[in-house]
Amino acid sequence: MKLLVLPVTIAAFVAVAGAACAEMYVDYTPQKGAWHVVTAKVDPNHIDDYLVGLKKTWVPGEEISKKRGLIDSYTISVKLTGSDGGANVMMVEHIPSLALLEPDKARDQAIEKEVYEVMAKDKMEAQVKDFEKYRVFISDEYWTDISYSK
């Protein structure tokens, strides 16, 4: 009896595992582009300060990136239930093509120059240094969408 249980168990596992295997482009299709998601834990007493600081530092860079076609959307979200001690601010941007992540010296230096025209480099560095008093980055991830086949 013991000899029969092991082969039957293995056969059942293989049958279930085989049925669970999905096929890309048959069962689902990866979409172009990616979501760049950065999460941070901000001292709850400084969330308003952080959001105002992001408006001065992060948002202008996102607008420039959007104008140049490097991203097509961006958003900042604040967690409503931040009592778990984890991230409570999320910054997201959508990159329409992963090819846009490739370095391009002329483009990248032009963007940097444009960003520093909005806020001087020394002021931006001072603002970021101030962030470090009450903000810790939790994650920096890239996600991609999928669509299901009908």
Residue 21 covered by a domain? no
Q: Is the model's pLDDT at 129 over the cut of 80?
A: yes
Q: Is the model's pLDDT at 48 over the cut of 70?
A: yes
pTM for the whole structure: 0.81
The tens digit of pLDDT for each residue in 51-101 reads 999 999 999 999 999 999 999 999 999 999 867 889 999 999 999 999 999
Q: Looking at residue 46, which CATH number applies to its domain?
A: 3.30.70.100
Of 65, 80, 58, the closest CA to residue 111 belongs to 65
Q: Into how many domains does the chain fold?
A: 1
Residue 132 covered by a domain? yes
Of 69, 51, 54, 56, the closest CA to residue 118 belongs to 56
* Region for residue 144 given its phi and psi (left: phi exceeds 0; alpha: psi -120 to 50; beta: otherwise): beta
| DSSP three-state, residue 103 | coil
